[in-house]
Amino acid sequence: MSDNVAHALAGAGGGIISMAVTYPLITVNTRLQVQRNDKDSASYAGNMDAIRKILSTEGIAGLFSGLESALFGAAVTNGVYYYFFEAVKAAFERASKRKSMSTVESMVSGAVAGAMTCIITNPIWVVNTRLTVKQKKLTAQADGGEAESPTTVQAFAEIIKEDGVLALWQGIIPALILVINPIIQYTAFEQLKNRVERFRKLGSLDFFVLGAISKLAATSITYPYILLKSRMQLKQSKNEGERYDSLADGLRKVIAQEGVAGLYKGIESKLLQSVLTASFLFMSKEALFSYAVKLLILLGARRSLASAK
């Protein structure tokens, strides 16, 4: 069995760890992204105000609303991504007889892996986005009573019942465009890693730092599309002024209603979350890779550890 299966398992494990560590930042960022009325008393004035209001109205659990679907999504997303990325990478290396990919090859590998990941995992993130935002609405409607948050399965069933199966792929166009995010991220990471490896062997701290630098560049460039994807994954309003019929329509309405600054709403928490997530992901994924190989050996999927190298 090729290395891409071990990389997929390690990536899934790394995705779970990085998601669990940074999830409160994801909650804050998602709610700021989808917030359109900044004048409402319940609206968030910024990152710290959002944290304070979530804690006061929902408790600590509010910062982790939708965590169940997010952990599942992170495992599947990173597992699928690394599987296809490493498979394409191995094909390039076999064809070129080189041990590292060129910049163009890194970009092609990222594009293939990103596109496959988007198509397969978009339903998970539609459910997660709605769960993350829905908790705030439930709390506001509770009128002093307890608001029961739906489970992931309930939210999944509700979307299909009310909006149809295709609603699970809402936001897929901006998501596919956002394939450029991991292309930038993994291309930058691979090229930086190759340069450092010319001089010395990389350690856990190196993977942490390289992951942070590559993700910072990717998220800064693609943030407006990230915001539009989050809004398009929500249940679309029947109000023409609030509904986004396409990516271009959403872009036009955000600028018209909120100004250019509206495209960067919540970017501070997103940059912090993305950088930390990528750093922990790369670091933990590399640490878990050897264990993934050993697991495959125990399961009989590999003959020996040496054959996996």
How many C-beta neighbours within 10 Å does residue 70 have? 28
Angstrom distance (rounded) from CA 1 to CA 308: 8
Question: Which element (helix H / strand E) includes 12?
Answer: helix 3-34
Angstrom distance (rounded) from CA 61 to CA 222: 30
Task: Give the tens place of pLDDT for each residue, 244-289.
Answer: 888 889 899 999 998 998 899 888 888 888 888 888 888 898 889 9
Percent of the chain with pLDDT over 90: 19
Confidence tier at 305 by pLDDT (50, 70, 90)? very low
Residue with tokens 């990471």: 189
Angstrom distance (rounded) from CA 243 to CA 240: 5
Confidence tier at 144 by pLDDT (50, 70, 90)? low
When the pLDDT of each residue in the chain is averaged and rounded to a whole number, the result is 84
How many C-beta neighbours within 10 Å does residue 209 have? 16
Task: Give the tens place of pLDDT for each residue, 80-99.
Answer: 999 999 899 888 988 888 87
Task: Give the tens place of pLDDT for each residue, 151-201.
Answer: 788 888 988 998 899 889 988 888 888 888 888 888 888 888 888 988 888
How many C-beta neighbours within 10 Å does residue 177 have? 15
Amino acid at the residue 164: G
Does 304 have pLDDT greater than 60? no
Angstrom distance (rounded) from CA 1 to CA 302: 6
To the question of pTM greater than 0.85 for the whole model, the response is no
**What one-character DSSP code corresponds to residue 279?**
H
Please give the average per-residue pLDDT across 61-77, as a whole number. 89
Written as one string, the DSSP assignment of 239-273 is: STTT---SHHHHHHHHHHHH-GGGGGTTHHHHHHH
Query: Residue 160: what pLDDT?
Result: 92
Angstrom distance (rounded) from CA 178 to CA 254: 18
More confident residue, 251 or 230: 251
Task: Give the tens place of pLDDT for each residue, 200-220.
Answer: 888 888 888 888 899 888 888
Query: Residue 11: what pLDDT?
Result: 92
